[in-house]
Structure 1
Amino acid sequence: MGFVVTKSKPFLVAPSKPTPRGKLPLSPIDKIQLLRSFLIPSIHVFAHGGRGNDVEIVKTIRQAASEALVLYYPLAGRLVDVEGRDLYVECTGEGVGFVEASVDCSLENANFLEHPSVISLEELAVDHRGWKVTDPPVIMQVTEFTCGGFAVGFTWHHSLADGIGVAQFLNAVGELARGLPRPTIDPVWARGSLLDLRPNISSLPSSTPNLLELECAELNVPLDYINRTKENFFRQTGQSCTAFDVALATIWQFRTRAIGLEPTEPVRVYFAVNVREMLQAQPGYYGNSIFFQTISSTSQEIAEAPTVEIIKIIRYAKGTISTELAKWKKGLLKDSPMQYVDLSYSTLGITYWKNLGFEHVDYGSGKPLWVTVHNEYKFISFCMLGLPYTRKNGVYINGRIVKKEHLEALREEMKLLK
């Protein structure tokens, strides 16, 4: 049975009070080509949670967002792209895009939007295809279910904030929705002073993507497998590793086997790392504080290596990040995703969404059932680890990972984990 999502026309939600006007700089990380190319649509699902029937959740979130924008006023402005050479925020106070929506079923009827969802995720967020730099860089859609549950579709331009920064804003909206007089964390902009880099670092182009048609896939690395692998790694090396290390090694190896490249062909994986402490970012800073680290090997080496050996490679690369970041700050690092992004099919991008802060957002009905991302970029092999938050054990993998002709082979590889 198909359920119908009814949406209002998009409108603007402005800050509830006058805010500063003028130009604000972005940091060199905010302006790297990989981030300035994307809007990220995330879906946050909440149960009824015992709220009173007199609470209009859509109106409550809309008002709380308006109040939060007084402090986060740059999000209510517009990005200005200076012929691809520079990017900054013009604080106009125009507001964020907003859509009010409802659906003619309960969350239970919709299987709590668990995969496979009977409601397309794209129905729960605003379609941003065709987005122009003059459009709002932040767009919200709140969809209410007949049971009182709801979904918040939050789409943002990545140059404005990373995942931790967006979670900080949404937590502020949640606190105001619950009646707090002001958010517990004061936001900090401070983009111009975060890094002292040469001006040309941020404007180097990414590679031209192939016109790939990659399929959405949702996979799970079971907790039992993760724990066994961590124990095995410790026995062999005397060192510990993380669930992220195990999941990354697993999906990189299984994907490499599934796509069947020539043995000597290079395969790469790049992943985002939180470097707030390394950059000594102030508490409340919500700009991008991530560094992209790349690992390269050959198809045969990754396809045939024991998992422990791949984890060693990953952990070595993670251990060099502070040094690589220092080189990048001095303009000495070459062939890095911070400057040059390889978007060929032999490359897989990874980001880890657990513990960013989305799991704490509460608009008055409790924390989210789960959070996920609706990835519309079919030409980039990219996935999120740790999403959606579910009751299942393990590390969930969600994204566009392989072409259609390789999807079944990838699923067969994943069956080896059971």
Structure 2
Amino acid sequence: MTVIAIPPGMPQYDDVPRFDVEKIRADFPILDRQVNGHKLVYLDSGATSQRPRQVLDAIREHNERHNGNVSRSVHTVGTEATEAYEGARAKVATFIGAASPDEVVFTKNATESINLVAYAFSNASVDPAADPRFRLGPGDEVVISEMEHHSNIVPWQLLCQRTGATLRWFRVTDAGRLDLTQLGELVNERTRLVSYALVSNVLGTVNPTSAITARAREVGALVMLDASQAVPHLPVDVADLGIDFLAFTGHKMCGPTGIGALWGRAELLDAMPPFLGGGSMIETVTLERSTFAAAPAKFEAGTPPIAEAVGLGAAVDYLSAVGMRAIQWHEKELTAYALDALSTVPGLRIFGPQVPVGRGGTLSFGFDGVHPHDVGQVLDAHGIEVRVGHHCARPLCVRYGVPAMTRASFYLYTTTDEVDALVRGLDQVRKVFG
């Protein structure tokens, strides 16, 4: 079994679950390929993860043998497709600790999940009969954070523009943590919703929840978490978190693109107005008016991404078999190793927490005098795939005074050898750019 050598000062526990990284890697066909004549070193799982054969096979099997539309079919193939689709919903619900599969709405990604909630607020705000928890107007406030992905900024900006509400945000400290010193003032009696990332897609910061949710409850605000970088990497239980909504996406957790999920407390989903109108989300339709199906169908208008949902269900099976606690600990040890290794690179500035406590396996950095795009091109020439740019988090780059960053992001198949390859690649960047 391949076990990571833990850097000095990192605690080691006998009861931590382990897995064989090389055995895991054998499940991912793409990791066998070469790029520019070098063995592929894939360090961009924060953008999209790779998929194991088990997921690829499940999608192919569904398309080849069970391809039909869901709901209302009485024929065999349609029934099989419906059972597979709803079976995937049940798997996702169990994976995140939902009370019922009906609390899981399938979307195309986390961005759509967040927009779904934002438009529920928007639609409710023009309906005098709507649930008052979803009505916004001048004087009301929505709170986000400075480290958010654009998908958790722009929908709330648009909502505030439509309703006259005000958008406010938590600041980020130099160390890459949320600044909670003004929590009581920021989340106040005017706050209707707090929405922020459970794990930052740029800094890797694992953000606190208990203090924020407790304050939100005091003032009657709802809480939503963008868990796109959390659900794939660590155990997530929505009941334990004590939140109202949670969004995540399939393609970052060994699943296909085109599928994501919104979890919401059942009574909130029941109270929310629909997002999209059309087939499958209705109860009755006349030319004058329509009534709507119960959640989650109310939010799944039209033909859904059926094969993609099957693939997401297979990804949940795969991750569950490996064990989320084992994946979390693997990445914690890997991050400790990487922080130690990257600290030896002259001229490198790591953004975010400098210790593996309260952070995930996403490391963004800058190289003195070298633009991130140049860093990325030199690394790619050596088969090392990283992300460059503002990572759909431009306000965070502005916060740190840089136009862009280079990001290496790890997953369950990442090894210390690949971290070493990154360090060697950065040495090549120094040689090329002096």
TM-score in same-fold range (> 0.5) = no
- Give the TM-score of the pair, scaled to structure 2: 0.25
- Give the TM-score of the pair, scaled to structure 1: 0.25
Higher strand share: 1
Higher helix share: 2
